[in-house]
């Protein structure tokens, strides 16, 4: 079964190194999302797999074939671009056929595949139109169809939804997910949008500065971020990251924040027992806070804090409480948000077993 492997990949543009010693394996049928901020090197990595950018060092394998120096058309891949890259003078049918131009297939097979893709993507009524007569979402479907007709083992997507409005993006996310469930190709998908990553990926590689920061399932990455970068990058509103010092007394292990508030860390699975006084960063996701008396939620911390302000985004609301030098964000019921006045003190609890801890010096997960 083909699997895609990047082995010790190095990429420099002139004197500037953009990817360093990168190893990554993608299993057959996996939906891998390369996720990271602008400029982190994800498109460069995708383009190297596609054969559109050459590799400075290392090799790329598809199955047991070394494709590092192969021509793009000989790699068994199909790619969907952010800009769609449709031929304006060809009809939708012509664009779909063009996906197979280099395959030298019998005419009936070409027509069979075009009809199959058009049905799958529900663009049959559009087959005789030109790209200029299509909406953005329809163009995107044609671009995906043109990749699908190749029956490629590996499908590559470069930010395919970034030119669509929010509603269409949601629709296309579901559509791409459905296609993956039905056809199970190996997918490598580049985006800086964490919602796309969390909703579609079976695995996510979070990148920053040309280095993979964490590779794991969406759940692993959300619940157990490997370092402060991942913790801050994944989640909206972002995870609260607050500096604290380890306090050990008798059997007690706690974190003491700058404002004197404490969090019980007795149940945290430290890889190595923390030293008294060591500097840590405590990560607390906004949605895990609740009222202190909530049933079945044993509290690790209870904070009494003044409200700074609240923010409503339709079905969601976030409360910001003054904490130490900064703010602590927590998700609140939209109805409740309206009742929280600035300056008012509220008592909130953070449950046991939900904190992420990081070494303040290295940023690595403890
Ligand atoms: P974005 O989301 O903005 O596309 P990205 O994570 O995909 O970002 P890349 O496009 O891979 O980032 O770029 C990584 C780095 O390499 C950037 O600093 C970019 O300026 C640089 N870079 C990319 N292509 C070239 C090139 N042809 N020549 C010189 N530098 C380049």
Residue 30 CB partners (closer than 8 Å, separation 6+): 186, 187, 202, 203
Question: How many Cβ atoms sit within 10 Å of the Cβ of residue 236?
Answer: 12
Q: Is 55 found in the same domain as 28?
A: yes
Is 48 among the domain residues?
A: yes
Is 295 among the domain residues?
A: yes
Nearest CA to ligand 1 atom 11: 41
Q: Is 210 found in the same domain as 67?
A: yes
Q: Is 262 found in the same domain as 171?
A: no
* Distance between start and end Cα atoms, the chain: 37
> Measured in angstroms, how far is the CA atom of residue 289 from the centroid of ligand 1?
39
Q: Is 316 found in the same domain as 260?
A: yes
Contact (CB, 8 A) for 253 and 268: yes
Last residue of some domain: 233, 257, 272?
233
As a whole number of angstroms, the distance between CA 80 and CA 144 comes to 6
User: Relative to the CA of 14, which ligand 1 atom is closest?
Assistant: 29
Question: What ipTM is given for this predicted complex?
Answer: 0.94
Domain assignment of residue 65, given as a range = 4-233
221 three-class SS: helix
**pTM score of the predicted model:** 0.90
Is 365 among the domain residues?
A: no
Q: What is the mean pLDDT of residues 216-236?
A: 95
Tally of domains in the chain: 2
pLDDT at 315: 81
Please list every protein residue whose CB sits less than 6 Å from any atom of ligand 1: 13, 18, 36, 38-44, 192
> Measured in angstroms, how far is the CA atom of residue 277 from the centroid of ligand 1?
42
pLDDT at 1: 57
Q: Is 120 found in the same domain as 56?
A: yes
274-327 pLDDT tens trace: 899 999 999 999 999 988 776 656 899 999 999 999 988 878 899 999 998 899
Between the ranges 3-7, 176-180, 269-273, where is the mean pLDDT highest? 3-7
Q: Is 211 found in the same domain as 310?
A: no
> Measured in angstroms, how far is the CA atom of residue 39 from the centroid of ligand 1?
5
Does 105 have pLDDT greater than 80?
Answer: yes
Report the half-sphere exposure of 339 (CA within 13 A, side-chain side).
Answer: 6
As a whole number of angstroms, the distance between CA 127 and CA 139 comes to 11
User: Relative to the CA of 13, which ligand 1 atom is closest?
Assistant: 29
Q: Is 208 found in the same domain as 178?
A: yes
Which CATH number belongs to the domain containing residue 327 in this structure? Answer: 2.40.50.100
Percent of residues, the chain, with pLDDT higher than 70:
98
pLDDT at 76: 86
Query: Which residue reads 């590996």 in tokens?
Result: 154
Is 130 among the domain residues?
A: yes
Does 366 have pLDDT greater than 60?
Answer: yes
pLDDT at 153: 84
129-148 pLDDT tens trace: 999 999 888 898 899 899 88
Q: What is the mean pLDDT of residues 165-186?
A: 87
Q: Is 264 found in the same domain as 204?
A: no
Is 319 among the domain residues?
A: yes
Q: Is 185 found in the same domain as 66?
A: yes
> Measured in angstroms, how far is the CA atom of residue 5 from the centroid of ligand 1?
21
pLDDT at 296: 56
Q: Is 329 found in the same domain as 200?
A: no
pLDDT at 161: 87
pLDDT at 260: 92
109-130 pLDDT tens trace: 899 999 988 988 889 999 999 9
Last residue of some domain: 214, 233, 252?
233
Percent of residues, the chain, with pLDDT higher than 90:
63
User: Relative to the CA of 190, which ligand 1 atom is closest?
Assistant: 7
pLDDT at 11: 96
Q: Is 273 found in the same domain as 204?
A: no
Is 199 among the domain residues?
A: yes
Is 302 among the domain residues?
A: yes
Last residue of some domain: 233, 256, 284?
233
pLDDT at 193: 92
Q: Is 228 found in the same domain as 251?
A: no
As a whole number of angstroms, the distance between CA 345 and CA 308 comes to 10
Structure confidence at residue 2 as a pLDDT band (50, 70, 90) = low
Which CATH number belongs to the domain containing residue 122 in this structure? Answer: 3.40.50.300
Is 364 among the domain residues?
A: no
Does 66 have pLDDT greater than 60?
Answer: yes
As a whole number of angstroms, the distance between CA 339 and CA 234 comes to 29
Q: What is the mean pLDDT of residues 207-231?
A: 96
């Amino acid at each position: 079964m083909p699997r895609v492997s990047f082995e010790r990949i190095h990429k420099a543009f002139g004197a500037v190194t953009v990817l360093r010693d990168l190893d990554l394996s993608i299993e057959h049928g996996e939906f891998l999302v390369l996720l990271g901020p602008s400029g982190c090197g994800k498109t460069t990595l995708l383009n190297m797999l596609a054969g559109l950018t050459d590799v400075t060092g290392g090799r790329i394998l598809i199955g047991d074939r070394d494709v590092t120096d192969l021509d793009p058309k000989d790699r068994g891949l199909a790619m969907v671009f952010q800009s769609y890259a449709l031929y304006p003078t060809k009809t939708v049918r012509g664009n779909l056929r063009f996906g197979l131009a280099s395959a030298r297939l019998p005419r009936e097979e070409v027509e069979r595949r075009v009809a199959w893709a058009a049905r799958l993507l529900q663009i049959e009524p559009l087959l005789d139109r030109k790209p200029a007569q299509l909406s953005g979402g329809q163009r995107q479907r044609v671009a995906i169809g043109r990749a699908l007709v190749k029956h490629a083992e590996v499908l590559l997507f470069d930010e395919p939804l970034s030119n669509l409005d929010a509603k269409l993006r949601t629709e296309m996310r579901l559509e791409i997910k459905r296609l993956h469930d039905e056809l199970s190709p190996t997918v490598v998908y580049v985006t800086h949008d964490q919602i796309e990553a969390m909703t579609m990926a079976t695995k996510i590689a979070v990148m920053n500065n040309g280095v993979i920061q964490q590779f794991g399932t969406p759940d692993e990455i959300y619940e157990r971020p490997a370092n402060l970068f991942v913790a801050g990058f994944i989640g909206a509103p972002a995870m609260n990251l607050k500096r604290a010092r380890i306090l050990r007394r008798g059997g007690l292990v706690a974190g003491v924040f700058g404002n004197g508030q404490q969090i019980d860390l007795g149940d945290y699975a430290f890889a190595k027992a923390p030293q008294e006084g060591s500097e840590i960063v405590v990560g607390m996701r906004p949605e895990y806070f609740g009222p202190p008396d909530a049933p079945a939620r044993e509290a690790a911390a209870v904070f009494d804090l003044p409200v700074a302000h609240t923010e409503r985004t339709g079905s969601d609301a976030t409360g910001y409480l003054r904490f130490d030098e900064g703010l602590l964000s927590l998700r609140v019921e939209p109805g409740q948000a309206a009742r929280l006045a600035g300056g008012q003190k509220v008592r909130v609890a953070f449950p046991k077993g939900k904190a992420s801890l990081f070494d303040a010096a290295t940023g690595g997960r403890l």
